[in-house]
Chain A
Amino acid sequence: MSGRRQARAPIFAALGDETRLSLVAKLCGGQPRSISQLTEGSKLTRQAITKHLRVLERAEIVRSVRSGRETLFRFDPEPIEEMKKYLDLVSRQWDQALSRLRSFVEG
């Protein structure tokens, strides 16, 4: 159980990089793209782009599928949505706790 949890790469770390953010931006339209397509217009090499895609894949933000000889990458919105939901939940809890603190000190 804990081994499986630890094997999952943190989403924030995966997104904390300009190149990876731009890859996500290219993929989030929903259309799967090949490494060649994703390297186009970038100053980086195909190898460097592949490395970044693998980081995103480990965080499960993108998934790869084989298509003939090519590997295509597609965006999976779920981990980011899940992260956002979690932060919203923690955030709401603090709102409630702070409102109780207000009643407590102002009362």
Chain B
Amino acid sequence: MANRIEKSIELKASVSRVWRALTDHREFGEWFRVKLDGPFVPGQISRGHITYPGYEHVKWEVVVQKMEPERLFSFTWHPYCVDPKIDYSKETPTLVEFRLKKTASGTLLLLTESGFDKIPSERRLEAFRMNDGGWTEQMKNIEGYVAQRP
């Protein structure tokens, strides 16, 4: 069983455009749906809050790891910290990496999230129960929103 998530997506936009969408904190917030307090700086904590309707109580807090211009952007975080009563900070975070490669038609974006073997199994179940059902509906709302504002 894989203990990481891997995604690849081909984007019809230049590497520098995709890099900006990933690393400019305002642009990142637009598509990720999070309001960030300030710019991303390697080695520093990025704070903010989720802007999904119904999830505004959820804080965003990640530690920026690497920013190698137009190549690699990475951060560590605690996925699904949706319950304000639980202190997730003692858990080992997962590592999220965005890698960019120039292609003939634009940019290949490779996303990996690794380190799931360190998350307590009880929390995995809890996170699943909390989000199942709700997310599907949320995602429809977001897709509608984005379609109106390309």
- Measured CB to CB, the residues of A under 8 A from B are 1-2, 4-6, 8, 10-13, 15-16, 59-60, 79-80, 82-87, 89-107
B residues lining the A interface (CB < 8 Å): 1-3, 5, 7, 9, 11-13, 17-18, 21-22, 27, 30-33, 79-80, 86-87, 90, 109, 111, 113, 116-125, 127-128, 131-132, 135, 139, 142-143, 146-147, 149-150
A80-B1, A85-B128, A93-B135 known; A103+B146 contact, CB < 8 A: yes
Given A2-B90, A102-B9, A102-B11, CB of A10 within 8 Å of CB of B117 = yes
- C-alpha gap A69/B82 in the complex (Å): 47
A12: contacting residue among B3, B7, B111, CB under 8 A = B3
What residues on B are CB-neighbors of A105 within 8 Å? 11, 13, 17-18, 21
Known: A94-B111, A98-B111, A103-B147. 10 other contacts (CB 8 A): A8-B122, A13-B117, A82-B124, A84-B1, A86-B116, A90-B116, A91-B7, A98-B109, A102-B9, A103-B150
Q: Contacts A90-B79, A107-B150; is A83 near B120 (CB within 8 Å)?
A: no
Whether the pair B116, A4 counts as a contact (CB closer than 8 A) is no
List the B residue with the shortest CB-CB distance to A14: B117
Q: In the complex the two chains form, what is the Cα distance from A107 to B27 in whole Å?
A: 13
Residue of B nearest to A11 (CB): B121
